[in-house]
Every structure is written in structure tokens, then in C-alpha cells.
A and B are shown apart, each in its own frame.
Chain A
Amino acid sequence: MIPLGVRIAALSLLSLAAALPTAPIFFADRSAAAGLAFRTTYGGKDTSTYILETTGTGVAFLDYDRDGRPDLFFANGTTLAGFPTGQAPRCALYRNNGDGTFTDVTVAAGVARSGWGQGVAVGDYDNDGWPDVYLTFFGRNVLLRNKGDGTFADATEAAGVAAGGWSTSAAFADYDNDGRLDLYVARYVDFDLKTAPRPGAQKNCFYHGFPVMCGPRGLAGARDVLFRNNGDGTFTDVTVRAGELDRERYRGLGVVWGDYDDDGWPDLFVANDAHPNLLYHNDRNGTFTEVAFAAGVAFDEDGRERAGMGVDFGDYDNDGKLDLAVTNFYGEPHSLYLNQGHGTFLETTWPSGIGEATMRSLGWGTGFADFDNDGNKDLFFVNGHVYPEVDRQQLDETHAERSLVFRNKGDGSFADVTASAGETLASRWVGRGAAFGDYDDDGRIDVVISTVNDRAVLLHNESGGGNHWLTVKLTGTRGNRDAIGARITARAGAVTQMHEVHGGGSYLSQSDLRAHFGLGSLAVVPSLEIRWPGGAIERFTDVAADQTLAIDEGKGIVSRRGPTTAGAARPPR
């Protein structure tokens, strides 16, 4: 049976293509107003002795208490000198109060963890309906099982997912379509503080002639890990069995799952630092084949390996295929790859306008999201240098950098609209992680940024234009509860928008798992199709815009919620 959506009579069904007013993108820093007092501690402020002090931390949107409002989880780090007992910086969980503010519930939730924290992954690995959290560290990783009562329990040992070494981004997905979330953990460098070379010690320990922390070149990479969910609360390391993954131990930083060839099986992309990127094609039998070179995403168009950091899959040209964005080092552009179908990508970094505008940025978190709700996915890049020392050398580059936002012009190219996107984007931060989600349910995608040795930044999306939107929260019943891997397609006439619920993406972070569509002036979506993990299809027709739908697999729309005005939205511009 096809569930019925809301029908609204007498509305002209404008095509999505016709519904593309150019609404300005605008963000305001609401960190203080939202009560978000979190500060990251990570390595030395003015000097980085080791590469360990440069990678920073991530952030995640998750609805840990299932009240329908995205909460926030921040990873945190430490310093080489360390801290007295009980005073070490810790990660933090902030509960969304539903009125545009957050409350720190870290202690009450039992999630305070210290150490060289890195990434945050979110997924309901035990399918109990409550999102769990996986934290990566330089050191032992931590799996926090959500007990459903506002608290978490450490399930690391029981689950067997500590991994060790230096883990960075991690991401959940059900790669074998057995209904349980598996876990991929990228690892960076085989690093030992006792033996690591110091600034200036070797040829890879200089930048523009002055001594800096060594690496990543010259440092051995560490092998990533794929954990298969056994369905009993434990995982098995299948890195070798699944196709000798990361056999060459590339320095992994960014991870995202996505079905790039639309065959219903999640594939995996790993951004590596000064090593070729990896694209694992899911062979549908529990193994993967690495195809990045043939697919055209291993290198840049000159055959050079870039310093891959953050990554995201998204369909920016609305052709139903997942494209790819990757952030890179200063002096390299951030990369954009257009999915051509047939398993190949075309690098569109330069023709899209992304290249020229990002050459002088060192990028980390990134995401495709339709910030102005015009029907085309825009791009956001969080930037920040790795060498604090550049500020003392009076170079053209600086340690803190501006984040950049690009508006999708709908013709395959992007316009850098950072300068007009609000005074707050003129600020410079040493940015690292970034997560995207509509925290105040006003229908506009917000951004939260984690920084190095600075406060977290909550960018409230106050874009004008009055465009319509639709948010969809999926819950799996036969497949994984988070519906990670589900594909939602909105159609109006010949125009299609596609969103895949994906684990990972950005850098060390997890964005809101709810799907968001910008609809321009379209008040009704004529056709909404969901392909659930495992292949089941559900279709909805004439779905009204400007609401958040909750859809359960096989049960149709189970709840609807209109927009709130909690975020103190500005008048339209």
C-alpha cells in the first residue's frame, strides 16, 4: 500500500526548476544566545610540537533524548602538558531546550570523557531506538550506549571496538544490509609521542623554511578498521576479510558512506592526507573493491594526491547521483567531483568556481546543504591552518581562517557568497569539525563548528527569501533504525532532488540524520519516494511543504510538526 501524503487542493504544481528565486544566504552567530559555552582544548596555542596537536575535534547533531530536537555532542582534546586529575577538559553533550537554547548535560548523561578526543559518530547500533555515540581518540576509542533514560553506558569493551592507535573520523552504515549498523573507523598516523620527531628535525618538519611540527609526509600511516555488527552488541574486525581494506595504510581523516552507483548497497569514501583517496565499491557479498583511481577520485586532475581532510556526498546537480566534495590543504583547492554515472567522476573543482575561491584556505569540515532552500544544495567549508606559527612569520596565510559558504547557482557552478552571508562569517576561526542540521526547526539548515583552542560556533541560518522546505525523519523497522542508507527522492515534473541518509561526512563529525529539502516557491511536493535500506520502496504524493515529517518504514507518516520560531529569525532580506 502506498501511504498517502497530505493533499492540498488548488495549488499549481510549479516545477522545482521554476521555483528558484535567489534568496540570500545569511548566518548569525547565536552561540552565546544559545548558551553554548563549550570551548575546545587542543594542543599548543602558539606552537604545535607534534602533528597530534593539529587535527582538532569534531561535533555531532543527534537527538539523544528523542524529543525531536537535535542535541549537540562535542569531542574535546587535551595538551601535551596534560592537566591535574579532575581538571582535564572533557567532551560535552548539550541538550536542545526547544527554545533556541541548549543545556550542558554532560555529567548527568555520564558521557564526560577526556584525552586526545577526535571524532564523534552517531548511530543506533543496537536498534533500540536510542542513538548511540562512538568517540574516537588518539588512544582507545569509546562506544557510549544510549540507555534511553538520558544517560549513556560505556559499551566499548563489550562491543570490542576500542581500536586503539590514532583514530579520526568514524561512520556508521549497514554495509551488508543485514539491518544492523556497522562501523568504519579511519586511522591517521602510526604515532608515538616518545619517538616522534620534533620541529625542524627532518626535511618534513619545515614550512616555508621555518621549523614546524613534522608530518604527515614522512610519518607512517595507520590502517583503518571496519567493524561488522554481530547483532548481539558486539562487533568483529573484518578489515581484512572485507577486501584487505586500507592495506597500504593511508593516512585517513575523512569518511563518508554513500551509494554512489545507486545499486542499493552502501559504498565508502575515505579522504586521506597526502595519500590517494580511497573509494570502496560494495561488492554486495560482504567485500569491497577499491576503485578510486578508475573512478577518478583518488587524485586531482594533475594526478597529485592532495591532503584530503573532510568530505561529503551530495547531489549538487540534482541528477539523482551522489557527487563528492573534499577539503584540502592551503595552496590546494577544495575538490569537487561530479558523479557522471557508470562508476566515474569528473573533477569540477575549477569549472564550478570552487577551486579559485578555496586555494588559500586549509579546509576541514564540509557539507552539502540547501541553505537558502532554493532547491539546490549549497556548500559550506570550515577552514583553519595547522601551523600556529604562520602568524609569527608574517606570511600571506594565517592560523585562523574564514569559513566559506558557496551558493549553488543551479547551473553546475557555485558563487562564493561568504562576504554577504553576515558579519559573523568575516570572523576567522581555527576551524575543524562541522555538523549541519536545523536545530531550531525553522526549516533552515544551521551549522555548528568546532575550533582549536577556541569556543564552539553555532551559526544560525537566517537566510531570507521565504522559500519552502521539507524535513523528513526516517525510522527503519526492517532495516537499521536510523535508516542510514535510505534514499529520499522528491520529484516535481522533470526536476528531482535526492537525499541519502548517510553516516559520516564532514570531518570528525556527524550531521543531523534527518533529510532536508529546499523547495523554493513550491508549497507541495508532488512526489516523495523513499528507498529503504534493503530496497523496499514507499511513495507519498502531494506532500505539503514547511513541516517536519516522521516516517516509519512500512507505517507511513507517523507525525508532522510545523516550523518553530525559536531561533529568533531575522526579517527576510
Chain B
Amino acid sequence: MSPVPAVPLLVLATALVVGAEPPADGLDARTHLALGQRYSAQGLFPQAIEHLQRAIEQEPDAPQGHYLLGVTYSLMNETTRAVAELERAAHLAPDHAGFRYYLGLAYLAAGRTPDAARELAESVRLDPRSAEARSNLAWALMSLGKNGEAARVLLAALERQPRNASTWFLLGESLRRLGENEKAIGYFEKALELDPAHADALFSLGTVYALRQDREKAIASYRHLLAIDPRHPGAHYQLGKILLRDGKLDEAIEHLEKSVAAQPALKGAHYQLARAYRLRGQNEKAEREAETFRRLGSEPVDDASWRTDAAPPARAPRETGQPQPGPAAAHYEMGVARQRAGRFSEAMAALEQAVALEPDHAAAWSSLGWTYARLGRYGKALEAYLRARQLRPDDMQTLRGLGATYGNLERWPEATEAFERAAGLNAADAGAQYDLGRAYSKQRRPRDAADAYRRAIALQPGLTAAHFNLGLARVDLGENAEAIEAFRDALRLEPGHAPARFNLAFALLAAGDRAGAREQQKALEALDPNLALQLALRLDGGGR
């Protein structure tokens, strides 16, 4: 068995999707732009990139090509490239509010929040009408700890769009962070007046009431939220905590169990469940929850990213001057933009609107599934993905998202089936093979897992995580020498991969190479002191 319980994860860009149509030759830049834009909208990114690059080759100083290429890279989670292209576009057309806006979003995705705030502020200056730019600017400012400034931006946005529930919500949130809870409550209530089903506003309202010890109102807010979304893990968790404090053990446990069912990685819920079970005298269950809590806290890699395995579905980059889309498409586009900005609850609301307006909008259902999964609402994600699959049975992203969602629900046979279908659709898709390997690993099918990882590696030799997971599968198979080789391959690609080094040390130890293990332990000290310490404790004997 592997010494590291967690299997590393990888957010695979949908760049791996390979289409069939080769780029056409002899086309002018404008045609390449149009084709690139169309492919990008369809999620056929390699083709889109091909055309957009050709457009740029022909007209290197035309900003539109850089802009569309940047947005395409953004959709692929290729943030570095996205930033480079969008910076180029903004450099060529510095007064284009849209370019500055998308550059701001790309900076946000790249974690360059101060740069994002600068660009979004510039976008607002260039186009003061854009409420969305103001909202994203406010979000960036809040991330930078500038809640007071964010509140001022949001108030300005509300002057233009006073009936935007999400803006009222954000205003409340910024004030909550400033400790102005009375005002925050007022703004959350305003958001709910405009949109009674605004999940984030209900949740934040419950949170403020809970912090202020107004338990009745807190409970009412969370219950209201659960009436809208019966699986909302946060609402179940917070309710469970309040009820536990009130000594209502059975009710508390019921909600806490629901919260971990909806979001298995919700660490606090396991912590509280351990307490609650202990109070009820269920020590075995308490210890199990405590163990889960510890495991979640000590995993060297973030298992939660499993929920976001599939990249967000593609959205068509819209050009300035392009005809406005229809209502469903507009909601869809807004939803995807909010996904990109990391505002998932708002994305969910927009995408729900999109599918309500156009129930056969497959891409919107798929995006909605991804968003639900990102919010930890796997039941709803499953429903959305199943609907998307019904509409488009052979969509790779939907199948991979569906598989990931089944995985989050611990329904591994169905996850495997979805991944097998995705891999079967395109045998040259390294990401699909990798997903399949993960599903096999979870089902304790190390032989099948190893085969899938090997196929992924054959297709994409630089896939570090596949090498690492192959190593773990080899360990499970008792193939220690091969495991060592796989871990070494992972480290050749990524010398700073601490879990690979950690597991390599154990494999070396199993092979009797104590000196080699010690060498890895030394190297690990600079990479991950905590793992290094764990390893040192093992090497020195004993263990807590």
C-alpha cells in the first residue's frame, strides 16, 4: 500500500481535445480570426489556436488576434500564455475597455491580483457603463484586503444598476469583512429582495447572524437556503454547528452528516462530527471522523481539486461590435465569464437562467454541472451532467465532468464507465487516460490503473502526475523496482515534486536502500519540511 493515501491530482486543460479538421491554407487574417473564434467557442482549442496564430502571423500588430488567442488560452487554463497575449492586445489598443477587462480577468486567474485590480480599474475608467467590470474590480479589491475601496466601487456600480442582486450581495460582503455587520445585513437583505433565491446572500446572512449569536435568524437563513438547495453543504454544516452548540445532538449530527455527504472534503464538518459522535457516546464513529479530519489536514496534495478535474467548458469569445446574443446565450456567456472570475455562485445563477430559458442548451448544462461540482453540490452536478450527456452523448468535457462527479460521490463504477467512454471517444487524449487511471486506482484495480497511466504517458510524456500515480500503482502491485523508476521519472520532470520524493524514499527503503532514502529525505527538507519530518521519523524508527 502506498505510504501516501492521497493520489495527486491534475487539472488537465482541455487543450488535449484533438479535433479532426486541419487548418485551411491560403486564408486571409480576417478569415483565420473568424475560424479561430468559432473553434474556440466549440472548445476545439488546438484548431482555434492554429487559426489565431496564423492571423497574428499575417497581422502581428492587430490586437484582435492577440485578444482572441488570449481568451482561448484563458479557457484552457493556460494562464501564462493568456496573460502574454492579452497584454499584447492591451498594449496595441490601450484604450480598449474590453481588452483591459479580459486582461484583468486573466491576471485574476493567474493569481496576479494587484495587476488585475489595475487593469479592471482601467477598464472601468474607459467604459464606466460596465457594471460587470466594476463588480470584478470590487472582487479583486476585496481579495487584496481593500474592502472599503471595493464598497465604494460597488456603490458606484449600483448607481447604474440598482437592481443587480449580486452587486448588493458583494457590497454586503465587503462591509461584513470590514466588521460593519449591521450594514452588511441590510445589503444582503436587499440582494434577497431582488433575488429571493440568491444562495450566497442567504448563506452570508446566516453567517452574520450566527456570528452575532442571533441563532434564530441564522437558523432561518440556513433553512431557507436548504429549501432552495437541499444539499448545500455549507448550510448543513453551519446548521449542524449551531444545533450542536444548542445541545440538539441528533439534529446536529443529521445536518453534519448531510454536509459531508455533499462535500466529503469539508474538514470542519468532520471535526464537528467527531465531537458530536463523542458526545453521543459513539466513540468508534467519532474516531473515524477524527481520522478523516486528520487525513484531510495532512494530505500532501489537495484532493479537493478532483472536483475540478475537467476544465470549465468553453465560451465563445465575443468581439466588440458583434451582434448581441439571445437571452439564453447571454446568460450562458455571463455564467462562463463568472466561472473564469472564480465567482461560482453567480455563475451558477446565470447558468441556471440559461438552461431555464433554453432547456436544450447542452453547453450550458455542462457548464452548470462543472459549476455545481466546484461548489461541492455533486447531486445537482450529476443531474446537470446527465442532462448534458443526454443532449450531447459524445461530448468529452461532459463525460469527463460526469466521471469526476461520480467520483466525488464515491460511485466509482459509474465514474469508470464515463471515463472509459471518454477515453474510447478519443484514444489519443492523454487526459482521458489519466482520469481513467485515477478511477481504476480508486477501485483498487492497480493493474488497469498502471496500464491507463502508461497510455497517458505514451501520449504525453511530460505528464508528471501520471508518472507519479503510475509509481503508486506499482507500489500497490508490489512492483517496487518499477515504482522507483516511475517516481524517478516524475522527479526528472519536476524535481520539486515533494510527494514523489517522499514515496520514492519509501520505495528505496523497501528495496533496502536506506542511504538513498536518507538522501531523498534531505532533499525533501527544502521542499516540504513537514513531509521531510514524517519521513525522518520513519527513518529514525517509531511513529506516532
- Chain B residues with Cβ below 8 Å from A559 are none
Q: Is the CB of A356 within 8 A of B211?
A: yes
Closest to B270 in A: A303
Q: Is the CB of A350 within 8 A of B529?
A: no
Q: Is the CB of A303 within 8 A of B212?
A: no
Q: Is the CB of B179 within 8 A of A360?
A: yes
Number of A-B contacts (CB under 8 A): 75
CA A482 to CA B529, docked complex, whole Å: 40
Give the residue among B145, B181, B267 with the most A Cβ atoms within 10 A. B145
Q: Is the CB of B293 within 8 A of A303?
A: yes
Q: Is the CB of A350 within 8 A of B213?
A: yes
Q: Is the CB of A220 within 8 A of B532?
A: yes
By the criterion of a CB under 8 Å from any partner CB, how many residues of chain A are at the interface? 31
- Chain B residues with Cβ below 8 Å from A303 are 267-268, 270-272, 293, 297
Cβ of B178 under 8 Å from chain A: yes
- Chain B residues with Cβ below 8 Å from A209 are 111-114, 143-144
- Chain B residues with Cβ below 8 Å from A244 are 544
Q: Is the CB of A221 within 8 A of B529?
A: yes
Cβ of B148 under 8 Å from chain A: yes
Q: Is the CB of B149 within 8 A of A394?
A: yes
| CB-CB contacts below 8 Å: A200-253 with B | 208-210, 219-221, 244, 247-249
Q: Is the CB of B179 within 8 A of A356?
A: yes
Cβ of B18 under 8 Å from chain A: no
Partner-binding segment picked from A94-102, A161-169, A293-301: A293-301
B248 nearest CB across to chain A (Å): 15
Per-residue CB contact flags for chain A residues 338-378 toward chain B (1 = under 8 Å, else 0) read 00000000000011000110011000000000000000000
B543 nearest CB across to chain A (Å): 10
CA A360 to CA B272, docked complex, whole Å: 25
Per-residue CB contact flags for chain B residues 67-97 toward chain A (1 = under 8 Å, else 0) read 0000000000000000000000000000000
Q: Is the CB of B529 within 8 A of A396?
A: no
Give the residue among A220, A221, A303 with the most B Cβ atoms within 10 A. A303
Closest to A330 in B: B145
Q: Choose from B177, B213, B275 the contact partner of A351 (Cβ within 8 Å).
A: B213
CA A351 to CA B525, docked complex, whole Å: 42
Q: Is the CB of B544 within 8 A of A247?
A: yes
The size class of the interface chain B forms with chain A is 35 or more
- Chain B residues with Cβ below 8 Å from A302 are 267-268, 271
Q: Is the CB of B143 within 8 A of A208?
A: yes
- Chain A residues with Cβ below 8 Å from B544 are 244, 247-248
Cβ of A304 under 8 Å from chain B: yes
Q: Is the CB of B267 within 8 A of A396?
A: no
Cβ of A395 under 8 Å from chain B: yes
Cβ of A393 under 8 Å from chain B: yes
| CB-CB contacts below 8 Å: B493-544 with A | 525, 529-530, 532-533, 537, 544
Cβ of A397 under 8 Å from chain B: yes
Cβ of A29 under 8 Å from chain B: no
Q: Is the CB of A208 within 8 A of B290?
A: no
Task: Classify the secondary structure of B's interface with A.
Answer: helix
Q: Is the CB of A293 within 8 A of B290?
A: yes
- Chain A residues with Cβ below 8 Å from B147 are 396
- Chain B residues with Cβ below 8 Å from A396 are 145-148, 177-178
- Chain B residues with Cβ below 8 Å from A220 are 525, 529-530, 532-533
Cβ of B241 under 8 Å from chain A: yes
Per-residue CB contact flags for chain B residues 160-179 toward chain A (1 = under 8 Å, else 0) read 00000000000000000111
Cβ of A190 under 8 Å from chain B: yes
Q: Choose from A219, A355, A394 the contact partner of B211 (Cβ within 8 Å).
A: A355
Per-residue CB contact flags for chain A residues 379-419 toward chain B (1 = under 8 Å, else 0) read 00000000000100111110000000000000000000000
Q: Is the CB of B529 within 8 A of A356?
A: no
CA A231 to CA B111, docked complex, whole Å: 57
- Chain A residues with Cβ below 8 Å from B271 are 299, 301-303
- Chain A residues with Cβ below 8 Å from B270 are 303
CA A390 to CA B210, docked complex, whole Å: 30
CA A247 to CA B530, docked complex, whole Å: 11
CA A350 to CA B242, docked complex, whole Å: 11
- Chain B residues with Cβ below 8 Å from A350 are 210-211, 213
CA A359 to CA B241, docked complex, whole Å: 20
Q: Choose from A356, A360, A397 the contact partner of B212 (Cβ within 8 Å).
A: A356
Per-residue CB contact flags for chain B residues 239-272 toward chain A (1 = under 8 Å, else 0) read 0010001000000000000000000000110111
Closest to B532 in A: A220
CA A62 to CA B292, docked complex, whole Å: 47
If A303-B297, A356-B212 touch, whether A208 touches B113 (CB-CB below 8 Å) is: yes
| CB-CB contacts below 8 Å: A272-326 with B | 293, 296, 299, 301-305
- Chain A residues with Cβ below 8 Å from B113 are 208-209
A224 nearest CB across to chain B (Å): 14
A339 nearest CB across to chain B (Å): 16
Q: Is the CB of B145 within 8 A of A301?
A: no
Q: Is the CB of A219 within 8 A of B529?
A: yes
Q: Is the CB of B268 within 8 A of A208?
A: no
Per-residue CB contact flags for chain B residues 288-329 toward chain A (1 = under 8 Å, else 0) read 001001000100000000000000000000000000000000
CA A533 to CA B453, docked complex, whole Å: 64
- Chain B residues with Cβ below 8 Å from A355 are 211
Closest to A356 in B: B211
Q: Is the CB of A395 within 8 A of B272?
A: no
| CB-CB contacts below 8 Å: A139-162 with B | none
Q: Is the CB of A393 within 8 A of B179?
A: no
Per-residue CB contact flags for chain B residues 96-123 toward chain A (1 = under 8 Å, else 0) read 0000000000000001111000000000
Closest to B279 in A: A344
| CB-CB contacts below 8 Å: B174-193 with A | 177-179, 181
Closest to A223 in B: B533
Closest to B178 in A: A396
- Chain A residues with Cβ below 8 Å from B212 are 356
Q: Is the CB of B268 within 8 A of A395?
A: no
CA A208 to CA B213, docked complex, whole Å: 30
CA A311 to CA B270, docked complex, whole Å: 27
In the A-B complex, the 6 residue pairs with the closest CB atoms: A303-B271, A220-B529, A302-B268, A209-B113, A395-B145, A208-B145
Residues of B that sit less than 8 Å from A by CB: 111-114, 143-149, 177-179, 181, 210-213, 241, 245, 267-268, 270-272, 275, 290, 293, 297, 525, 529-530, 532-533, 537, 544
Residues of A that sit less than 8 Å from B by CB: 190, 208-210, 219-221, 244, 247-249, 293, 296, 299, 301-305, 350-351, 355-356, 359-360, 390, 393-397
22 pairs, A vs B, C-beta closer than 8 Å: A209-B144, A221-B529, A247-B544, A248-B533, A249-B533, A299-B271, A301-B268, A301-B272, A302-B267, A302-B271, A304-B267, A304-B268, A350-B210, A356-B181, A393-B144, A394-B149, A395-B146, A396-B146, A396-B147, A396-B148, A396-B177, A396-B178
20 other A-B residue contacts (CB within 8 Å) besides A209-B114, A209-B143:
A208-B113, A210-B114, A220-B529, A244-B544, A247-B537, A248-B533, A293-B290, A301-B271, A301-B272, A302-B268, A303-B267, A303-B268, A304-B267, A350-B213, A351-B213, A393-B146, A396-B145, A396-B146, A396-B147, A396-B177
